[in-house]
Structure 1
């Protein structure tokens, strides 16, 4: 075992040996060297991150002169660097190393993290940047800290939870999701909007989410009056009474339509109503000359005829069937009447629930399905969901068991 005072004496012996060696070189150069060796006139040695000390710097350097180097600002030395002028060249006596001054490991912050912005390690001149986690926002003036001689600059940044303030809406809009107890609306919270009265339609996004920085991901929607445009009609079709073509109708307004030529037959509904979302209840009819023959049967959206031909006699019918997952509503056939196809058939749309939709709401199917990533549910069918692990129903969520209604299904929300 080496005691501290032994270590001290060993250092003294090493420094004495270096001193005697340097002294010998100086004496030898000044006494034994030829007079022709006048000194070193070339550039000084290049030592990384160091400069010649002011005490060592001269206008000219004679044989045997020793120069010393000191580390630049922000660097610390590991051994001193010295060169001696010998035979007009600089010869290294001792090679030290200047390394950037290190800083202690940076402090962590609550609800955030840091990354190195400039530099590769926690040393002098390096800069780190703090970033808040999702759902939190920076409230400090500075989000960076730099390693200086005395340590890290600036105070630790602070991240506070993000909250959003609801925008003002009029009495037409129904908003769901606002906390009843006036609690803050936190990051990720969703508000749902609808227009409860059928004479109004929603303009804007039906769902708005509290996003980063306490801002909503979109403006709050509004409820506007439902209107329907008359537009252009078939040349032989007229409206009983007002309005005239290109007029604008409101929700619930009706148009009574007839053929301008009494010898023509009206194909379609004689009355159309301005209904939800600005659509007419039925397509505008057409007028044609009377005939006892019908052409090809009309196309059924999301369905097709069982058997099809190009001409049908008066009184003949054609069967329709809906595509897979679609449910037929109304009659199963249309009949040729005086050259016009008569009969109401609709194929009600299925609902599609896929993995992405459920992941956004933290839900899964409560029961096993053939394809756990995607499910088609026919009109009027019910699906039961459940929350994923470690989540529970949101306060404003609908129930777990939901019904498909012509392509639309409410989904529960878990958090």
Structure 2
């Protein structure tokens, strides 16, 4: 809670996830422990950026030049998104203390390759964002945790605790983006978090494959709702090696990318059944995550793009009963804005020199303050904040 006379400061959070459905930008005001969303925009990720992102998610030849150019191009796109959100908030760039930018993940290898050095790679040039906006930028939030022998993900449980924890309830916050991740907030103050598996990623990729890219996603889950689950395929999918891992764990396209899409496409059945099975795969992988929680949640708060999939939400309500299942919109924070808000909060903690990544979630040797800082024209303001 803000103290009387405590100064209100403004931050921007930027998020572009594995679904590639846009760049989310949130302007957030902070005063003490109070965090409020001031403005939010989603900027379309143009095809000229999507295509190289998807291409560079797979190993190939002559990647360095392509990656370096994409890094700069995404820097400009992220800067534009930040400026649009600031304008929508009725503010000027000079009023913003800093931008927290997650970047676009190209690789996430918390176990390394063949048990070699673990690494993670997000691009979206922070220096370009700082140059175009004039605002200090905090980026590369995952790497410090990786260096401390953690998974580098998920990062948002730290913020979920600040936004959603309740003293008398066990709460689960479920973000369904391309990948789904869960935060467990115990009534006793315990915080856990981990990736559950695929979120929207497979459903989106299937829709694009089945329609020759005429449609990017199954709107409202309508196609899935019209199909039947093919149980043998669902059981095969649930045998994926990722589900044998005990948290802390994290995942991405490396586990649930094109290979799994082709596994589903190879089965001779109607498109609606493929989509219904993919949706059930997401649901059942979330349900399976319950075995890793110390107690059953009393309430679930759903955020991310998956919250707009009515069929997915209905299945979750049925599977997670009798727990109450709501969206974060229902309790005051739009589902599409939660992750962008989180990176604004993480940036504020970085600049304060305080912990913003929890070892209880990532498995690191200790809690860390993640994020690298590129000072903007407002450097004196940042240093004195």
- Please tell me the TM-score bracket, short chain as reference: under 0.3
TM-score (norm 1): 0.18
User: Which structure: greater helix fraction?
Assistant: 2
User: Which structure: greater strand fraction?
Assistant: 1
TM-score (norm 2): 0.19
Q: Is the radius of gyration larger for structure 1 or structure 2? A: 1
